[in-house]
């Protein structure tokens, strides 16, 4: 993990030449109240505290971007066919972030201009995602992502995984910052990427990165793994359990079934 961080820092140094970053980069140190989250049977979403120190000024801004492990997402459109509403079109977004959340000290538009935000991929509307039609017939038209991205972001927002509002970040004396990262109950397991950016006068002054590791744990992990890795035995076990559960029940429920006659 430390090595990954070092590599990442080197990568940042590399991007300095791109011109987005000024020559005199500051420094951010960030940590999470909990880096490992376990989806256990009692899991109902959780809130993590992201906190840290920054070498900055009171007028600086902090932007935090949390993105979940990339996953394919089916995006379906309904239309009325014969009086009922059915799915008539399916497109697949390739490797879309399964969670996408932006937190900032101020509204994004006041922190940097749209072009800068787009280059840094801050905000759901700046994501460069590939869209493909589910049926890849030869000569099939590849759908245009731009036209669909807005409705996609809206649909993802309604699942709670891509909150449309920018969450708050509190920056104290230009030195200490803190933000609450909300993980809804339907997060998937995997490695989550947390980017922390320090903005000064509309440009990135420094940047840091950390990870959240989400895993299924406890009984729910056991059941999930059992169901997927040994599905035959899972099925047999489920049937055996049901038969056993039905057995002692008969003296109570039997009477009513026996009474049932036409």
Partner 1 sequence: MYIYLPIAEISMHIGIILGLGGGVGFLSGLFGVGGGFLMTPLLIFFGIPPAVAVATEANQIVASSVSGVLAHMRRGNVDFKMGGILLAGGVLGSSFGVMLFKYLRDMGQIDLVIKLSYVVFLGIIGGLMLLESVRAILRSRRPGAPRRKLHQHNWLHGLPLKMRFRRSKLYISALLPLAIGAFVGLLAAIMGVGGGFIMVPAMIYLLGMPTSVVVGTSLFQIIFVTANVTLLQSIQTQTVDFMLAGLLLFGAVIGAQFGTRASALLRGEQLRGLLALMVLAVCLKLGFDLVVQPSDLFSVELLK
Asked if 132 interacts with partner 1 (CB under 8 A), we say no
> Exposed, middle or buried, 234 (CB in 10 Å: 0-12/13-18/19+)?
middle
Taking the complex as a whole, the smallest distance from the CB of residue 73 to partner 1 amounts, in Å, to 5
What is the Cα Rg of the chain in Å?
24
Binding window for partner 1 (CB under 8 A); candidates: 5-13, 174-182, 192-200, 215-223: 215-223
Q: Which is nearer to partner 1, 72 or 201 (CB)?
A: 72
Q: Examine residue 147 and tell whether it contacts partner 1 (CB under 8 A).
A: no
8 Å CB contact between 71 and 98 = yes
Nearer to partner 1, 201 or 250 (CB): 250
Residues 240-259 that bind partner 1 (CB under 8 A): 241-243, 245-247, 249-250, 252-259
Q: In this complex, which beta carbon is closest to partner 1, that of residue 38 or of residue 116?
A: 38
| Distance (Å) of CA 90 to CA 98, 143, 206, 229 | 18, 10, 40, 29
98 binds partner 1 (CB under 8 A): yes
Cβ closer to partner 1: 11 or 219?
219
Q: Binder to partner 1 among 6, 7, 78, 164 (CB under 8 A)?
A: 78
User: How many residues would you count in the chain?
Assistant: 262
- Smallest separation, CB 230 to partner 1 (Å): 10
Distance (Å, rounded) from C-alpha 124 to C-alpha 106? 17
Instruction: For the sheet with 100-104, list strands across it.
Output: 28-32, 46-54, 176-183, 167-172, 100-104, 61-67, 190-200, 203-216, 36-39
CB 85, min distance to partner 1, A: 6
Q: Tell me which residues in 148-207 interact with partner 1 (CB under 8 A).
A: 151-152, 154-156, 158-159, 185-186, 188
The CA-based dihedral angle spanning residues 7, 12, 16, 20, taken in that order and rounded to the nearest 10 degrees = 160
Q: Mention every residue, 6+ apart, whose C-beta is less than 8 A from residue 140.
A: 133
Q: Report the relative pairing of strands 46-54 and 28-32 from DSSP bridges.
A: antiparallel
Query: Looking only at residues 17 through 76 of this chain, which bind partner 1 when binding is defined by CB under 8 A?
Result: 39-45, 71-76
Q: How far is the CB of 17 from partner 1 (least distance, A)?
A: 37
């Amino acid at each position: 993990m430390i090595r990954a961080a070092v590599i990442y820092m080197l990568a940042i140094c590399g991007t300095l030449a791109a011109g987005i970053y000024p020559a005199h980069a500051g420094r951010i140190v960030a940590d999470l109240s909990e880096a490992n989250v376990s989806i256990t049977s009692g899991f109902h979403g959780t809130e993590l505290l992201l906190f840290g120190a920054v070498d900055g000024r009171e007028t600086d801004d902090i932007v935090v971007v949390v993105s979940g492990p990339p996953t394919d997402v089916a995006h379906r459109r309904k239309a009325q066919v014969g009086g009922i509403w059915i799915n008539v079109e399916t497109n697949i977004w390739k490797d879309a972030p399964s969670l996408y959340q932006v937190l900032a000290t101020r509204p994004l538009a006041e922190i940097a201009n749209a072009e800068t935000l787009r280059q840094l991929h801050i905000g759901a509307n700046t994501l460069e995602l590939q869209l493909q039609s589910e049926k890849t017939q030869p000569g099939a038209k590849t759908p245009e992502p731009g036209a669909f991205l807005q409705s996609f972001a809206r649909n993802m927002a309604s699942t709670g995984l891509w909150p449309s509002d920018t969450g708050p970040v509190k920056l104290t004396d230009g030195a200490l910052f803190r933000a609450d990262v909300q993980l809804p109950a339907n997060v998937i397991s995997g490695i989550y990427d947390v980017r922390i950016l320090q903005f000064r006068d509309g440009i990135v002054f420094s940047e840091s990165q950390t990870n959240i590791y989400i895993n299924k744990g406890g009984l729910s992990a056991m059941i999930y793994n059992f169901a997927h890795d040994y599905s035959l035995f899972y099925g047999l076990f489920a049937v055996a359990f049901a038969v056993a559960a039905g057995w002692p029940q008969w003296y109570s429920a039997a009477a009513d079934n026996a009474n049932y006659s036409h």
